[in-house]
Amino acid sequence: MAIANKNIIFVAGLGGIGFDTSREIVKSGPKNLVILDRIENPAAIAELKALNPKVTVTFYPYDVTVSVAETTKLLKTIFDKLKTVDLLINGAGILDDYQIERTIAVNFTGTVNTTTAIMSFWDKRKGGPGGVIANICSVTGFNAIYQVPVYSASKAAALSFTNSLARLAPITGVTAYSINPGITKTTLVHKFNSWLDVEPRVAELLLEHPTQTSLQCAQNFVKAIEANQNGAIWKLDLGSLEAIEWTKHWDSHI
């Protein structure tokens, strides 16, 4: 069991897909769910606590754009309290191609920095116990929504990073897999800006095609967590869960 009686940190666990996933995780009975998010939402935390009183749900304010040193400090507080953490979910994301630097900072650099920080506690080369990382990437990491090239590229970068983490597991003791949702009905996709206004109606056009609910996505997310498969590239689209086979076009041979 990858959730029951485990200690889980969920970065951005109060967002659209994030909050529904937090609900599903709490139902599965972890020991602790620690939510790190930019904006505190006491009502949401209270709801999670009420869903399963046996689970300890705690919240810490966290902006993924802070330095690795800042993140390490926050993680030290959490590790001092819990002693062990089994799973880190990196879920922060924004969709706004007007905000180029922030998109890259949140969607890619934030994932890299949070992962780098937790390695201080998990890396088996430092005597750590290892751990599991689930990175929320996107189907746009497979094929871009070309009208939002900055967002799509940031998610492709996060996916590439995650694939490398999985290959490094024999060295670090830390396994990793990616969660790649398709278009999911959340506030994120209701209205957003295309790069240089190349398509002002991009959100509207996307929503003319079949989508999934955040609950469908969350339920499949939990299935992927339970599968706990190092290197898996999970596609969560239209209410289904599918492991993607990555096509190799080049190999470093090292």
Determine whether 151 is an active site residue. Answer: yes
Q: Which helix (H) or strand (E) holds 152?
A: helix 149-167
Q: Which of 62, 98, 146, 151 is catalytic?
A: 151
What is the chain's Cα-based Rg? 17
For residue 202, give Cα distances in angstroms to 81, 192, 195.
45, 8, 10
Query: Which residue, among 223, 243, 226, has the nearest Cα to 234 in the 3D structure?
Result: 243
Contact 211, 184 (CB under 8 A): yes
What are the strands of the beta sheet with 56-61, ordered from one edge?
Answer: 56-61, 32-37, 7-11, 87-90, 131-136, 174-181, 233-237, 240-243
Q: Point out the residues that are catalytic.
A: 151
